[in-house]
Structure 1
Amino acid sequence: MDRIPGKDLLLAACRGMPMLDPTHPMLDAAAELAKVHETRDITAACDGGKLALRRIELIREIDEWIAKAAPPPLPAATLHTETLGQIVDRLAQLTNQTFIALAHAPDDLYQDSWARLCDLASGYQDLVDELHNGTRRLPSTFLHLW
């Protein structure tokens, strides 16, 4: 069974480099989520429905994979507020926004975006560590579209 990727591999995948671990389904989904967000940012609103549906599919793929891959939580494990798919989706979106800011925004906006990305990536890594230790469990579904 594949190990849950750490933040460095996940961020690389969000920048289009899932080839660092080319057979990992979660990294492939993260890379595609980043492309969905990138496309959404540059495409006319008429394509939004297709992108939203693909985004939901990818989030669910991640959630289904993690349900099989994560070790069973301890009985006293606390429930996280989001699914792992939702967190990966937010990381993919924020990665895209940060790299847009790097190219086109004033330094203070880029620094703010970079700080938010680093905070979210650190939170993701903490969650992965807790999942591996069995001290955290994940909700089984999400309801938010965009």
Structure 2
Amino acid sequence: MTIYSDSGRMIPGKDLIIAACRGLPHDDHPMLEAAGELAQLHEIRERTPVCEMDKLDRRRTQLIRAIDRWVTLATPVPRGGAGTHTETVGQLIDRLARLTAQAFVPLSQAPEPVFYDAWVRLNELADTYQDLVDDLRTGTKRLPD
């Protein structure tokens, strides 16, 4: 599902974001490209020594900021009384990418209850993402500075 903003720019829905994080083929879209790369970085991060994570984390920060800039251009100016969300869209997508990388790669061989719990957490976060995108589109939420 894709949501269209008033500016004509598309904001991908939760299903497209999760599919991109899983590495599935998708339309050429900056947010989907960034989500896929974030998931890859989280997979690499699991195998990287702590002393070498700075480069990965710098790239993650760049991708998060790029997503946030794109969302700012794609969404209307929030209404005066719009509440502020606790995270940016980029931060939420980064967390979705991390959970996706954890749920589909290392947990694929885990016992069913462990995999199920990870899947539930991923779906709950995906719903949070979708709710935020819907609220941004209607101007009822604003993003933190």
Note whether the superposition's TM-score is higher than 0.5: yes
Give identity over the alignment, percent.
54
Q: CA deviation at 1:46?
A: 3.6
Aligned-partner Cα distance in 2 for 1:101–1:29? 21
Give the superposition deviation at 1:101.
4.6
Preserved CA contact (<8 Å) 2:38 2:63: yes
- TM-fit CA distance, 1:44: 3.0
Alignment of 1:18-37 (within 5 A): 19-22=25-28, 24-37=29-42
User: Structure 2 residue aligned with 1:13, among 20, 37, 61?
Assistant: 20
1:21 maps to a residue whose letter is D
Over residues 86-142 of structure 1, what are the superposed CA-to-partner deviations in whole Å (9 max), with x where a residue is unaligned? 0000000001111135422111111110000010001111111111111111012xx
Q: Is the 8 A contact 2:26 2:32 kept in 1?
A: no
2:11 paired residue among 4, 12, 15: 4
- Aligned partner of 1:143 in structure 2 is none
Aligned to 1:71: 76
Give the whole-Å Cα distance in 1 for the aligned partners of 2:30 and 2:89: 13
Give unmatched runs, 5+ long, in structure 2. Answer: 1-7
Match of 1:139 in 2: 144
Q: CA RMSD in A?
A: 1.3
For 1:1-146, what aligned pairs fall within 5 Å after superposition?
1-17=8-24, 19-22=25-28, 24-140=29-145
Q: TM-score, normalised by structure 1?
A: 0.89
Task: For 1:44, give the aligned amino acid.
Answer: P
8 A Cα contact 1:33 1:92, kept in partner:
yes
Whichever structure has more strand as a proportion of its residues is 2
Q: What is the letter of the counterpart of residue 7 of structure 1?
A: K
Letter in 1 for 2:26: L
Unmatched segments (≥5 aa) in structure 1: 141-146
Paired with 1:68 and 1:103, the residues of 2 have a C-alpha distance of 37
